[in-house]
């Protein structure tokens, strides 16, 4: 597969989306796929950072586009940065070679709205990898009014682009249900939870954890929040608990990371000695930093269930630590924690319940260790990186192997152009009919059974270009260069493709399309034995409507082998688009004008 990912941030950026995308891109590349990434040259946490425009890492080609650097801490600045990325990413994707699949993440929001445009222009299928759902997030956080015009417009764009996608990846069952309620075809939705790297993040005992010494954290019971502290995360209860527990001198609330609420929280906690802050840690220190916590905090604002799934949960599970989740019980994180029995689910505003859970784990180390062991166990069985990579690879292969429905635009174009062609070419029909008849007195038309889409046979019409009974004694032998069976009139008809003119009727009634793999004779398939057991993936060419012209007819030599032409047929089946069809039709007219259909060399 040739796969292109599009997301605002990528390695070495420290954001959660960037880390997961980096993992997946490397894993797919390691599995033998050709992987590219389009990202910005900016960092999520450092406005001054500028990453290289082009580079390769672990076999992944990275193409970075210039990013605007408005203040991300303000909503206008964040919106302007997002708007700047869309055209830059679109331009980069258009300029790159065609990919089989384009996978859009959720940063910036509605990035997948570029999918239909690129499918039209490049013929690539596209998949939406939903880390969160917009505009639902903005509405639930009060940034947009639910009935406001911007919200209505964004919702319409979201629904249309999601429904048009060839595949949709949801990071949880609750999110998948919301997508189904939005009218997304359930057959397109695949649930693949986020993950952590179980080799990079593993439980480290305090005695061997250098991170504790480096930051003077020994002899403290650490309640750890690690990762992005954004608008969707509830921290009010944590602040209240820190105040209530400030007399417990050994309990320390440690925040590692960044995000929109990171600075304000730091300002509000001034004077509290039981809260500390550290920046994002290098990937090489991730196991030690995550293992420094005796328990981990995961939070989510009420109303965001299924719309956002906090990925920091998987790092906590990988580190083998107990988890306290502050949020609704009807959420993905709550379901995982309760089914695994690895922590507590605390309802929002239940300050007393939260403090009680913290004190229980502080005072009962054996209980804490048991919950941590369960956390690591459920991680290894469900959320480790290799398992996620295999699920992704399987899902992407499934998208490519799914038959793509014929677009209404293609069929309407076929009807309009073939109808106009039938009317406009009627004088030529009369001329050729007289010419063929007078040449040898044989029949004007030749009717031949062909194998159509999904194995449905039909009869293709042609002006006769060979002598009558040309296959008598020889059988169904493909005409070669300078074939003696071709008549004098037939040579002209074949060189200009005018012998195919009656197939405008086959196109008009839906047996064929203007562009597609050439329809084979059923007997030819039998004689040449071109079936899947001998020619892998041969069946895929019959998932596409056969065509009057196609990649093989334009780019392959006239007498190329069936196996060689099949390569072109399969390439078209994977990459077909209305834009490609228009290009191939234009080239076909050019070859007809030059009379080069029967040439041995290049036709164009």
Q: With 0-12 CB in 10 A as exposed, 13-18 as middle and 19+ as buried, what is 525?
A: middle
Q: What is the mean pLDDT for each group of 10 consecutive residues in the chain (604 residues)?
A: 94 86 95 95 83 92 90 77 92 93 92 91 91 91 88 92 94 94 92 94 93 92 90 83 90 90 85 90 89 94 90 95 94 94 93 94 95 97 95 92 71 91 91 89 87 86 84 60 79 85 92 89 59 60 85 80 79 80 89 76 72
Domains identified in the chain and CATH numbers:
2-195+391-401 (3.40.50.2000), 206-383 (3.40.50.2000), 408-594 (no CATH)
The first and second tokens of residue 426, run together, are 């009627």
- The answer to whether residues 192 and 389 touch, using CB atoms and an 8 Å cutoff, is no
Per DSSP, the residues of 307-350 read: TB--THHHHHHHTT-EEEEES-SSSHHHHHHHHHT-EEEE-TT-
- The answer to whether residues 337 and 321 touch, using CB atoms and an 8 Å cutoff, is no
pLDDT of the residue at 73 = 66
Of 560, 559, 561, 548, nearest in space to 587 by CA: 548
Report field, pTM of the whole predicted structure over 0.85: no
pLDDT of the residue at 81 = 85
pLDDT of the residue at 404 = 64
pLDDT of the residue at 533 = 46
Those residues whose C-beta lies under 8 Å from the C-beta of residue 243, and which sit 6 or more positions away, are: 272
């Amino acid at each position: 597969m040739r796969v292109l990912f599009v997301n605002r941030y990528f390695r070495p950026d420290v954001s959660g989306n960037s880390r997961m995308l980096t993992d997946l891109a490397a894993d797919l590349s390691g599995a033998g796929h050709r992987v590219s990434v389009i990202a910005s040259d900016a960092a999520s946490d450092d406005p001054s950072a500028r990453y290289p425009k082009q580079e390769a890492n672990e076999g992944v080609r990275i193409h970075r586009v210039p990013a605007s650097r408005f203040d991300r801490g303000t909503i206008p600045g964040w919106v302007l940065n997002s708007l700047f990325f869309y055209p830059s990413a679109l331009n980069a994707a258009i300029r790159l070679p065609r990919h089989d699949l384009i996978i859009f993440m959720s940063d910036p929001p509605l990035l997948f709205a570029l999918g239909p445009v690129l499918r039209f222009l490049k013929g690539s299928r596209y998949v939406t990898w939903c880390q969160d759902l917009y505009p639902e997030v903005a509405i639930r956080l009060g940034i947009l009014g639910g009935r406001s015009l911007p919200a209505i417009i964004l919702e319409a764009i979201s629904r249309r682009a999601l429904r048009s996608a060839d595949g949709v990846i949801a990071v949880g069952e609750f999110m998948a249900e919301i997508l189904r309620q939005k009218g997304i075809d359930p057959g397109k939705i695949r649930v693949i939870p986020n993950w952590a790297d179980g080799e990079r993040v593993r439980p480290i005992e305090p005695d061997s954890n250098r991170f504790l010494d480096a930051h003077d954290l020994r002899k403290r019971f650490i309640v750890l929040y690690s990762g992005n502290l954004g608008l969707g995360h509830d921290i009010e209860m944590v602040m209240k608990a820190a105040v209530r527990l400030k007399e417990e001198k050994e309990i320390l609330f440690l925040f590692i990371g960044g995000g929109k609420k990171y600075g304000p929280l730091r300002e509000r906690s001034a004077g509290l000695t039981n809260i500390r802050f550290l920046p994002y840690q290098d990937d090489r220190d991730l196991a030690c930093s995550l293992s420094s916590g005796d328990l981990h905090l995961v939070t989510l604002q009420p109303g965001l269930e299924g719309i956002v799934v906090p990925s920091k949960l998987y790092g906590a599970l990988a580190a083998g630590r107990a988890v306290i989740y502050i949020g609704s019980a009807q959420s993905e994180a709550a379901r995982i924690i309760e089914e695994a029995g690895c922590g507590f689910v605390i309802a929002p505003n239940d300050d007393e319940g939260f403090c009680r859970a913290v004190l229980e784990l502080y005072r009962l180390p054996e209980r804490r260790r048991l919950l941590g062991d369960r956390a690591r166990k459920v991680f290894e069985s469900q959320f480790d990186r290799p398992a996620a990579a295999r699920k992704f690879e399987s899902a992407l292969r499934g998208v490519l192997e799914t038959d793509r429905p014929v677009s209404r635009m293609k069929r309407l174009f076929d009807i309009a152009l073939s109808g106009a062609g039938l009317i406009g070419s009627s004088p030529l029909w009369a001329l050729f009919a007289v010419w063929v008849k007078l040449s040898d007195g044989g029949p004007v038309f030749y009717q031949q059974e062909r194998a159509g889409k999904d194995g449905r046979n039909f009869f293709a019409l042609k002006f006769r270009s060979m002598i009558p009974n040309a296959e008598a004694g020889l059988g169904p032998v493909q005409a070669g260069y300078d074939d003696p069976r071709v008549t004098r009139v037939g040579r002209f008809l074949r060189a200009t493709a005018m012998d195919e003119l009656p197939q405008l009727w086959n196109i008009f009634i839906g047996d064929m399309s203007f562009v597609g793999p050439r329809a084979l004779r059923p007997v030819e398939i039998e004689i040449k034995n071109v079936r899947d057991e001998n020619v892998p993936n041969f069946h895929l060419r019959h998932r596409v409507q056969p065509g009057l012209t196609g990649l093989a007819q334009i780019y392959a030599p006239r007498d190329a082998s069936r196996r060689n032409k099949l390569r072109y047929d399969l390439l078209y089946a994977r990459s077909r688009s209305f834009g490609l069809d228009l290009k191939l039709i234009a080239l076909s007219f050019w070859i007809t004008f030059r009379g080069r259909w029967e040439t041995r060399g290049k036709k164009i």
